[in-house]
Chain A
Amino acid sequence: MKIVKTLLASAAMAATATSAFAVDLTIVSWGGAYSASQNNAYHKPFMEMRKDVTIINDESSNEAVAKLRAMSEAGNITWDIVDVEGPDSQRLCDEGLAMEIDFDEWLAPAPDGSPATKDFGDSLINACFIPQIVFSTTFGYRTDVAAWNGATPTSLCDIFDLEKFPGKRSLEKRPKKNVEWALLCDGVTKDELYDVLSTPAGVERALAKLDTIKKDVIWWSAGAETPQRLADGEAVIGSTYNGRLFSVIVEQKQPVAMLWDWQVFDFDGWIIPAGVSEDKLPLIKEYIRFATDTQRLADQAKFISYGPARASSQPLVGQHAELGIDMAPHMPTNPANQTNYLVNNIEWWADHQDDVEATFQAWLAR
């Protein structure tokens, strides 16, 4: 018994002793160009400032909800800060897996002194979510398709026009966004969209529209697939996240262009897992306050074409850190790119995802 106690005591001492010298901060994100932009804009300057902190990058954000659920069931939270999309943050917040945040206490005010809640505005979509960026899912197309006779797609509905724009399409292997786009091109207005979808006939109508191009669709499940297919010439038009298309077009200089029509907006940002240890909390707070201030959010936009979630950061968005080009025209939030846009109805998808997903998968298999 005594031995056990001694062992435990020394282990505890070892734990506190190490934390006094070096602390690990585990930050979970999406990997690729996106994590690189966070690394450049937030992690590196933060570690410069706090020499005793080591930031560990974990790239499991696409399974964050499942893993956080499993961790919470096991009672062992090993993550400190997690980067998730808006709908996932809603889910985590509702289930009590993410901590509720007092935004004005946690986040730095804008340079003009206005409180964070005002500066972030509409991007604060729930009580747990600290937004960083606005991204969108939109289309890219090849600019050198001989069969198009010099024409280029100008509207979303050109996706469904196989006569004018023949060739393979790359679409996501999920119903979300696809059914909305299909209905928009089938004559449904933006306001009626979810009312129409709420009826089984509405989903069938969307699938019937998708049926017209089904034989020419290659389906993707990872965001990197469309850029790769466009670069290979395997597909001529495809949907994906705008930052990925930016890197194909601007950084890799492939013959690809953007189609912003009916881009679907979403937020991405931090959540703090509920049940994270009390000792870590001050450090987490310090990091969050640093990484979401006006300058830092604007800095991230130097590395990737996602719009900062703070109003005060937008005027600071300048040029690409390496290429030196102006970033503003590549942002989804740029007014010129925003003539038609959509925001997914998270509530509707929470209720109908299972049913629509089953119908969609069965339709795919037919």
Chain B
Amino acid sequence: MTHSTPPVRRHLGERALGRIFLTPSFTFMALIALFPVGYAVVMSLYAIRGFHQDFVGIRNYVDALTDVNFYSAAWNTLVFTVASVTLEFVIGMAFALIMHNAFVGRGLTRVVILIPWVVPTAVAAQVWRYMFDPNPGFVNSVLGTDVNWLRDPGWAMVGMITADVWKTAPFVALLLLAGLQTIPRDFYEAARVDGANAVQRFFSVTLPLLRPAIVVALLFRTVDALRMFDFAYIFAGYSNSLATLSVYAQRYLVAEPLLGYANALSTITFVLVMVVGLLFISRMGHSMLGDTVREVKR
């Protein structure tokens, strides 16, 4: 009889504790993420001039989707995302494999590759912008070229992608290295016994087992690249040549205030990032979230 009381009380205590523990984080996230985004969607339906707000329905969206500059910003975002994420993945993978297999200097390299990642993007952007700047012309003198890296839109994009890859490939490498370290050595031995060469071992053992780490790295990098602001703004301000969707939206928030239109642009950016992010998360659901939750249930 006396045995039945304590478990019941403990159970109730834990439920109440759980609700109390979750309240602060979910309040923060709801207030600062959910509420403002809803607010932005509402404002995107108005034409806002000073204190006047006229309901215009979806006209801001129609305007955005028929605007040449919007498509140029979307194109810049797409080029930047595809190129930088691809390069970061390839270079990050090479870095990770080098570090994983290195017999000396692994600790040192690990520290060194964290340094570009920890430095603020604004610093990375300024350093690379000045290295590419034809005046003084450091990159030109190293490559023996005569390119105006900051004025020519195509080359400016190349410069910006280089800067972003420099800053974040190391972080991709770190995520992949963490994944590599969880692959048991025996798998490689078994593949070696079966006569697989290094390339075959990479494709048949490393890549499949590294999949969770790869999906996480690609998710974070793709989402970050799609909403990138700092590099484009520091390289070229609000000019159309490098403007990404975030820069383009911010331009109508600050430089030429058209708030309803700006909110339509930021909402489009938001939807795009969400759709791409959710595609990744739904693929990841089973391998990561699933594991966590299953472990929890056990």
A and B: bona fide binding partners = no
Query: Which residues in B have some Cβ–Cβ distance to A below 8 Å?
Result: none
Query: Which residues in A have some Cβ–Cβ distance to B below 8 Å?
Result: none
